[in-house]
Amino acid sequence: MKRVNASLPYPFEYEAGRAALLVIDMQNDFCAPGGFGERLGNDIAPARRIIPAIAGVLEAAREAGLLVIHTREGHLPDLSDCPPAKLERSRKQGAGIGDPGPMGRILIRGERGHDIVAELAPAAGEPVVDKPGKGAFYATDLERMLREREIEHLILTGVTTHVCVHTTLREANDRGYRCLVLEDATAAFDPADHEAALHMVRQQGGIFGWTSSSAAFIRSLRV
């Protein structure tokens, strides 16, 4: 059993063979100029700033043989998997899903904006889960993948802490997974949203799970 001593609200214990690292939505659409995130009116700098921390966690997780799963938020070119409510709101915000942008059509599968940033490119054999929603469990194969591999613990990284990371965390929590959110390997466009989202994880005795630094998690992997 491995143990993250410095996690909150108390030490997080896990078995490496039953843990998976989730890298959530580290796509150009959230991390690059002109993408969905920036067009919604956000500062993308916090999303870019966590790339080195995630790269460090990825390296340690691969070295330790952890299952690594990447996710991407996006829609089919004909928008048939995009709920009208989501589409309408994106258009009102000036970030119309499917509209042309500097990296191809916004939030559409197969376009450059939908790609994972080059620094965090999935390694051969690492599953990439394409999801139409904020949560990685809704309308995807993620749960089946995790059950097949008898995964019980999830380490969450990526963007944004209060939206896709939190929705995935809540979905995972209801399915019985024990979740650790890495504070410096997740980001929201507004740091206040990030802090609030982390607080919500560990309040009430860890109502959704645990939080720790990526360094503390990496240390736990290497002992």
Please list the active-site residues: 25, 131, 164
CA distance 128 to 70: 5
Measured between alpha carbons, how far is 202 from 166 in angstroms, rounded to an integer?
12
By CB under 6 A, tell whether 164 contacts ligand TIU: yes
Rounded to whole angstroms, the Cα distance separating 61 from 151 reads: 14
Binding span for ligand TIU by CB under 6 A among 61-69, 110-118, 158-166, 215-223: 158-166
Nearer to ligand TIU, 75 or 216 (CB): 75
Residue 30 touches ligand TIU, criterion: CB under 6 A: yes
Give whichever of 25 and 130 is closer to ligand TIU, judged by the CB atom: 25
What is the C-alpha to C-alpha distance for residues 182 and 143, in angstroms, rounded to an integer? 21
Is 159 among the residues that bind ligand TIU (CB under 6 A)? yes
Q: Decide if residue 38 touches ligand TIU (CB under 6 A).
A: no
Spatial CA neighbour of 155 closest among 43, 42, 64: 64
Question: Tokens representing 204?
Answer: 């009430």
- Establish if 168 lies at the interface with ligand TIU (CB under 6 A): no
Binding flag, residue 73, ligand TIU (CB under 6 A): yes
Half-sphere exposure (CA, 13 Å, Cβ side) for 124?
0
- Footprint on this chain of ligand TIU (rule: CB under 6 A): 25, 30, 40, 73, 134, 159-160, 163-164
